[in-house]
Amino acid sequence: MQKITVYEKPTCSTCRNVSKILMEKGIDFEKVNYYIEPFSKTKLKALLNKMGMKPSELLRKNEDAFKNLKAKINRMSDEDILSLMIVDPDLVQRPIVEVGDRAILARPAEEINKLF
């Protein structure tokens, strides 16, 4: 099986649920806390491409960080939104699960089953 990487925030309940599902299935995976190991712009762009998503679709719209910048974000280009997400990881929806040339936003956690 290909390497599975879960980009997460360990305190996130959905991230913990994805880890639990993978462990229950006996699947080996790597966890990356993107608060400690931040996304590069290239990596986040690659993940978005694998998910078929635009940066604006990966924004955590319920976060204060988004609400405080909503008017500004609504006028930003995809490239600018991507840059903002790199600077403020609270804006990135999670968890993102990458397997080879595919990736998904595992929200809700059961979305992980689409990879298997």
Per residue of the chain (116 residues), give pLDDT as tens: 689 999 999 999 999 999 999 999 999 999 999 999 999 999 999 999 999 999 999 999 888 878 778 778 888 899 999 999 999 999 999 999 999 999 999 999 999 988 87
Question: What pTM was estimated for this model as a whole?
Answer: 0.91
Contact 4, 52 (CB under 8 A): no
Residues designated catalytic: 12
Q: Structural domains in the chain?
A: 4-115 (3.40.30.10)
Give the C-alpha separation, 55 to 110, whole Å.
22
- The residues near 93 (Cβ < 8 Å, ≥ 6 apart) are 58, 59, 60, 105, 107
